[in-house]
């Protein structure tokens, strides 16, 4: 859910008021686009039905709309907008291969629709963002999970110490990759996956679409082929643990002890618990 902006030469385009080129990413937790998010949700477009009836500022469309309105020069300078997973594939192969997982979960792409109907032209007309597709900025088609995006480019192979014979798979969002590991068994629709990190993501799949207001999805083919994915979760999970620890009156003493023992505050706490 990180938005990456690149120019026509593949170089970074700043999305920061500093205009520093190396600040070309809007992270998922950045909520600068709350106004744009509300505007998109007020359209009541049919695609919203497939994202719990409302998009989040953590998704890509509100971020791009904010950039167009607030930093138009940077928006016009951008030749490619990528979700992080797709950006990594692009860097590895030099090919603009978009993932169904990213497109469905973060870009309002409807993978279950017939060709030509996967994107809601009415939505982008309503919010004046049809030019987002100009020149292949975001790509109009996607590739399925598990398929080959391409071979490592010569540059990437040299940097990684590998060969150009290495195959690169189509990208997938990190939490969803964990979801595959948990739900990829014989009865995936009977299991709930909870993936924890800075945030936490609760994911379940079903053979038929399940519509629940406030729950992201149902997303077709976003994690397991032919299954519909529903998502919920907490924006603050591991980050909340960090806050509780660092906000403690004992944190300074704990940090000093950790430094002196050349370990981490988490290891000290774990040792105390176990």
* pLDDT (average), residues 243-247: 95
Q: Is residue 207 helix, strand or coil?
A: coil
Residue 1 near residue 28, CB atoms below 8 Å: yes
* pLDDT (average), residues 17-37: 95
Residue 136 binned pLDDT confidence (cut-offs 50, 70, 90): very high
Q: What is the pLDDT of residues 92-127, one digit of tens each?
A: 999 999 999 999 999 999 999 998 899 999 999 999
Q: What is the pLDDT of residues 157-204, one digit of tens each?
A: 999 999 999 999 999 999 999 999 999 887 899 999 999 988 899 999
**H or E segment to which residue 26 belongs:** strand 25-26
**Residue 85 C-alpha from the chain's centroid:** 7
Residue 105 near residue 220, CB atoms below 8 Å: no
Residue 184 near residue 166, CB atoms below 8 Å: no
Class level of CATH domain 3-169: alpha beta
Q: Where are the domains of the chain?
A: 3-169, 174-235, 239-273
CA distances from 218 to 110, 145, 155, 206, 255 (A): 10, 17, 39, 9, 44
pLDDT of amino acid 22: 92
pLDDT of amino acid 1: 72
Strand-strand pairing, 3-6 and 80-83: antiparallel
């Amino acid at each position: 859910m990180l938005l990456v902006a690149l120019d026509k030469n593949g170089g970074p385009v700043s999305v920061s008021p500093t205009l520093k080129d190396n600040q070309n990413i809007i992270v998922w937790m950045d909520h600068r686009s709350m106004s744009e998010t509300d505007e998109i949700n007020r359209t009541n477009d049919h695609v919203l039905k497939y994202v719990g009836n409302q998009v989040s500022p953590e998704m890509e469309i509100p971020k791009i709309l904010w950039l167009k309105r607030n930093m138009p020069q940077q928006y016009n300078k951008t030749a490619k907008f990528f979700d992080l997973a797709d950006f990594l594939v692009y860097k590895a192969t030099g090919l603009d291969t978009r993932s169904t997982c990213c497109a469905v979960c973060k870009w309002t792409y409807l993978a279950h629709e017939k060709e030509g109907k996967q994107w809601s032209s009415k939505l982008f007309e309503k919010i004046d963002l049809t030019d987002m597709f100009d020149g292949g900025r975001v790509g109009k088609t996607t590739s399925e999970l598990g398929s080959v995006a391409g071979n490592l480019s010569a540059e990437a192979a040299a940097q990684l110490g590998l060969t150009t014979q290495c195959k690169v798979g189509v990208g997938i969002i990190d939490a969803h990759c964990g979801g595959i590991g948990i739900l990829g068994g014989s009865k995936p629709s009977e299991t709930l996956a909870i993936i924890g990190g800075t945030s936490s993501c609760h994911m379940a799949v079903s053979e038929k679409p399940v519509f629940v207001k406030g729950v992201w999805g149902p997303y077709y083919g976003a994690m397991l082929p032919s299954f519909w994915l529903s998502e919920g979760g907490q924006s603050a999970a591991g980050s909340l643990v960090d806050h509780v620890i660092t906000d403690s009156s004992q944190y300074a003493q704990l940090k000093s002890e950790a430094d002196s023992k050349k370990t981490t505050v988490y290891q000290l706490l774990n040792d105390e618990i176990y």
